[in-house]
Structure 1
Amino acid sequence: MKIISSTFLILCTLSLSAQHLGNFNNQASQMEISRANIATADMGNARVIGYNARPVASVALQPSNVLNLNLRSLYNVEATDYTAVFNINQVGETADETTQLMSDKINAIKAELRGKGFNGKFAVDMISFIPQYEIEVTKKLFSKTYTEVPVGFELQQNLLISYRDDADFEKILSACASAEVYNLVKVDYYVKNLEAIYADLQTKLLTEVKKKKEYYTALGFDMSEYDVHMADAKYYHMPKDHYKSYVAANNISMDALKQKKGVTRIKKPISYYYDPIAHSGYDIVVNAAITKPVIQLGMDLTLRYVPKPAKPIAPVAPVKEPKPKVYVISPTGPVDIKQLPNS
């Protein structure tokens, strides 16, 4: 009995520990959805945003007289404008009927939203307008003739709805559903003061560079004796770029256990969640606390300080060999100059 109790206790402990993992079972590696951001280091856009699925092993640092300065900055900002895109597909027997039905749907959506005080903008993107054909069979005495004849038309358009208040999205969904428009293509996020945000990141990066140079100077490096090489990059990620998928764990039916029948597994639907760029590896993070999907702006700066080449030593001028001379004065007054040999 003690052995059974101990085994049961161990199993319960394992179950409780596993529960901290939640229902997450990443299916992104199976490419089940097109917008999945693969959570492995060698696939998807993980390499671009610096995602690292495994902890980096500690490596001994290699000293060098070349100073490499790599700085990364990230700015989390809520969107100031949104655009929701809905696809509408309408069919009709005639071209006029098809276009009229499409207009009725769009006008119904506009009327309902304006009736609720919606102040956004609407735009229509024409996708296609094509006739639909069927085969008409004409029987003759010794043969049959198959002829394509138009039986209707298909009109496809995208309705773009721009808004500023995030709370208006529920109104938009309700109005579209009332008009039997359910195909939400995407929601784009925009920021008005984009230049000001990048300028703020540049200022913060320059402050970090100044601190690093002071640090190098304190270590004994004379920064005036180094040539600097630089490279920089910036990027802009919208929330739709960072949704991942997972499937909840398949649970065993308790009824099957009670009735002592075969195990019945319940198929779970694919779920999605927003997984923004992780803050690890960044030197600067602005608005680190994220409570909803945001736009993530980044700027990276790399500086390489290389010692300046040594100044060339000026050549020493050759020493001129002396040319001794002897002045001979005769008793009568004339002076005779004699050149002596160097040896």
Structure 2
Amino acid sequence: MKKLIITSLIIVYSISNFAQIKGNAISISRQNIASKDLGNGYVYGNHSNHFKSANLVPNPTINLEVKALSNIIASSYTAVFNVTQIGETSEETNNLIKERTLKLKSNLAAKGILTSDFVIDVISFVPVYETIVEKKLFSKKYVEVPKGFELQQNIHIKFTKVAQFEEILAACANNEIYNLVKVDYFIDNLQEVYKKLRVEILKELKEKQEFYKNLGFDLTEYTPIIADNKYCYFPRDFYKNYQAFNSVSMEALKKKRGVYQAKKQTSYYYDPISFRDYDVVINPSIVEPVIQIGMEIKLQYTPKPKQEKPIEKEVIKNKYYIISPDGSIDIKEIKTT
């Protein structure tokens, strides 16, 4: 009996550990997530029926499909920050924002970011108006008059290492620049990535063709047609959000008091393309957000129509008959040229 109890405890402990390994995102997503998928990440998300086995139906057509995916760490990044400055005069506004950007540039130079990697893109420079009341004897008017100026710029900062991004954020915060617009990812050798994917696809395709050959199928007796595709996805396409919370309060129900709901924090996580459906995956282990480049090729082999043997026709040669006066018959053939 003691052995049975110990065994049960071990099983329960193993199950609880396995549930913990699954992580919060999976358990939360089934019960208390208010989520909205971003970009086209949902296309590659988990489906409830992916454990079901497919019904195999024999078909005279042979389909060979190879899907390859490559996870590439970006060669460089560009962070874009938005800065807005207001002032009473155009000169004051320009000087204030110039002072902030010069300090930021100096701080980043001390971190190893070159001046050539720092670019300012002016978005707008417009006057700001306020409404004043103009009273007359029998009327009242609201008139807009210039109050100051607003200058808006985007700052583009290029960096090559992920660790530099924290330093950039700190430098921007020290200069009252908080609005991070986006981070772009770039690859220097994109053609080399596609070339490597083509090589891997050909290897996998030859193995599948050899497999069918060993099954007894002669692919030379089939007519092939082909379709191919390639794509490139960036990390921003695969960020999803969720809210992890529990709003049920049993104490509030017992005391019959109203519940004041707090603002729930929205969390984001990176959910890249799963390589579950891929035949070839280059660099499958992902630690940081990466650029995902994929190629697919599909060959469809249709049996060639069987050629019927031509029917041999009997050639009838023309003949003529010569009957002599004594009644004898002489048969001769007519020669044709």
Q: Report matched runs for 1:220-299 at 5 Å.
A: 220-250=216-246, 268-299=264-295
Query: Is the 8 Å Cα contact of residues 35 and 243 (structure 2) preserved in structure 1?
Result: no
Q: Hey, what's the Cα distance between the residues in 2 that align with 1:22 and 1:201?
A: 32
Q: Report matched runs for 1:102-181 at 5 Å.
A: 102-119=97-114, 121-181=117-177
Gaps of 5+ in 2: 1-8
Q: Name whichever of 99-108 and 195-204 sits farther off.
A: 99-108
Gaps of 5+ in 1: 1-8, 39-43
Query: Is the 8 Å Cα contact of residues 41 and 272 (structure 2) preserved in structure 1?
Result: no
Deviation at 1:318, TM superposition (A): 5.0
Calculate the TM-score normalised by the size of structure 2: 0.80
Question: Alignment partner of 1:280: what SS?
Answer: helix
Q: Name whichever of 211-220 and 94-103 sits farther off.
A: 94-103
Q: Which of 178, 199, 208 is equivalent to 1:212?
A: 208
State the match for 2:5 in structure 1: none
Q: Hey, what's the Cα distance between the residues in 2 that align with 1:159 and 1:30?
A: 32
Query: Is the 8 Å Cα contact of residues 46 and 52 (structure 1) preserved in structure 2?
Result: no
State the match for 2:3 in structure 1: none
Deviation at 1:192, TM superposition (A): 0.8
Q: Which of 57, 69, 91 is equivalent to 2:52?
A: 57
AA of the residue aligned to 2:162: D
Deviation at 1:100, TM superposition (A): 2.0
Q: Which of 188, 197, 209 is equivalent to 1:201?
A: 197
Deviation at 1:268, TM superposition (A): 4.6
Q: Hey, what's the Cα distance between the residues in 1 that align with 2:331 and 2:265?
A: 117
Q: Hey, what's the Cα distance between the residues in 2 that align with 1:125 and 1:19?
A: 47
Query: Is the 8 Å Cα contact of residues 66 and 279 (structure 2) preserved in structure 1?
Result: yes
Deviation at 1:247, TM superposition (A): 2.3
**Alignment pair present for 1:301 and 2:314:** no
Question: Alignment partner of 2:52: what SS?
Answer: coil
- Judged with a 3 Å threshold, the aligned counterparts in structure 2 of structure 1 residues 145 and 317 are, in CA distance, closer, same or farther, namely same
Deviation at 1:237, TM superposition (A): 1.4
Q: Which of 61, 83, 86 is equivalent to 2:81?
A: 86
Deviation per residue, 1:185-241 (Å, 9 max, x gap) = 111111111100111001100111111111111111111111111111111111122
Q: Hey, what's the Cα distance between the residues in 2 that align with 1:80 and 1:51?
A: 30
CA RMSD, Structure 1 to Structure 2 (Å): 3.5
- Judged with a 3 Å threshold, the aligned counterparts in structure 2 of structure 1 residues 314 and 50 are, in CA distance, closer, same or farther, namely farther
Q: Hey, what's the Cα distance between the residues in 1 that align with 2:129 and 2:179?
A: 25
Q: Hey, what's the Cα distance between the residues in 2 that align with 1:338 and 1:57?
A: 82
Deviation at 1:149, TM superposition (A): 0.9
AA of the residue aligned to 1:205: I
AA of the residue aligned to 1:87: N
Q: Hey, what's the Cα distance between the residues in 1 that align with 2:45 and 2:209?
A: 25
Q: Hey, what's the Cα distance between the residues in 1 that align with 2:24 and 2:247?
A: 10
State the match for 2:182 in structure 1: 186
How many residues end up aligned between the 2 structures?
312
Q: Which has the higher contact order (CA 8 A, sep 6+)?
A: 2
Query: Is the 8 Å Cα contact of residues 68 and 304 (structure 1) preserved in structure 2?
Result: yes
